[in-house]
Amino acid sequence: MMMGAYPHIYWTPCAAHCINLIFCDIFKVKPYASVFKKAIRIHSYISQRPLLLNLMRKFTKERNLVKQAKTRFATTFLTLRVMYIQRKNLRTLVLSTEWNSSKFAKEVLRKEVANLIIPVQFWNDVVRKLTVLWPFDKSASFGGWGEKTTIGYIYEAMDRAKEAIAHGFRGVKKQYEKVYEIIDARWSEQLHRPLHAGGHVLNPVLYYKAQQEGTLAKSLWTEYIACVEKLVHDTTIPDALVAELPKYKMADGLFGCGPAKNARDTRSPVKHQTCKSLP
């Protein structure tokens, strides 16, 4: 409705929310859903019994297996990660005398939980799930870059996350192609806007690095132009931008001075320092 009333602005959804939806879609896929359900069963059984919860804390030195995050499925990822880190201690727990001699020893569910934790296969499945989800935590940090603006980094973060997933599966496409479909669907149909391409192109640290490596996609310039045409009403401004663009591409003038170069890696593009003292 806002874009209908003001056609020169962009509406773009929250990046953290979209990444959360990607997690949600991934957890609906059969192999990922089964691991998720098993992990929840393990956690629920232990956490709902104070005696076993205290026993778990004794073996793992963790107060809880759940690590809080801003979104539900991010929390699920962090929980899986903590469980994997504590896998040896959890196996030691369910094989211990304290576990097997507790008042819950005769419960059928206790045996089911132990049978989930002990086999190596379950932990191998967890690793495969973390291989898919970890790059989003590392590259996109669930949509947050501290003081850095999301617009200037989300394009790069999504590409980096997909590359990390492919690398994690050693390039075996059939192991991650379904995940790619999920990511691309959310990215192309919901999150991606020419605004992100414009932010990527005008982000000095990303632009000059891509230029040096020869990895800057031609489509980015098309989307950058579309972004400018939408945002700028005054027809004289795009002409001025076109005139200044070669200087930016070649890091000429203010773009190439010492403070501007040093600021590429340390400051957000919106706070980028230039040599104001130069003519």
| Count of structural domains within the chain | 2
Amino acid at 218: K
241 and 127 both lie in a single domain: no
Structure confidence at residue 145 (pLDDT): 44
Measured distance CA(36)–CA(25) in Å, rounded: 12
136 and 213 both lie in a single domain: no
Structure confidence at residue 279 (pLDDT): 39
Measured distance CA(101)–CA(113) in Å, rounded: 15
46 and 135 both lie in a single domain: yes
Residue 105 in any domain: the answer is yes
Looking up tokens 């509406």, which residue turns up?
Answer: 11
Residue 224 in any domain: the answer is yes
Structure confidence at residue 142 (pLDDT): 44
Structure confidence at residue 95 (pLDDT): 93
Structure confidence at residue 274 (pLDDT): 46
19 and 134 both lie in a single domain: yes
96 and 214 both lie in a single domain: no
95 and 212 both lie in a single domain: no
Measured distance CA(165)–CA(89) in Å, rounded: 28
Return per-residue pLDDT of the chain as tens, 279 residues.
888 888 888 888 887 788 888 888 888 888 888 898 898 899 889 988 999 999 999 999 877 777 655 556 667 778 888 899 999 999 999 999 999 898 888 889 989 999 999 999 999 999 988 888 888 766 555 444 444 556 677 888 888 888 889 998 888 888 889 999 999 998 888 888 888 888 888 888 888 888 888 878 888 888 888 888 888 888 788 788 888 888 888 888 888 888 888 877 777 666 554 444 443
120 and 220 both lie in a single domain: no
**Domain boundary, last residue among 92, 125, 143:** 143
Measured distance CA(120)–CA(134) in Å, rounded: 20
Q: Which residues of 130-151 are buried (b: 16+ CB within 10 A; e: fewer)?
A: bbbbbbbbebbbbbeeeebebb
Looking up tokens 């296969």, which residue turns up?
Answer: 121
Tell me if 263 sits within 8 A of 254, measured CB to CB: no
219 and 138 both lie in a single domain: no
Give residue 23's domain range. Answer: 15-143
Tell me if 196 sits within 8 A of 155, measured CB to CB: yes
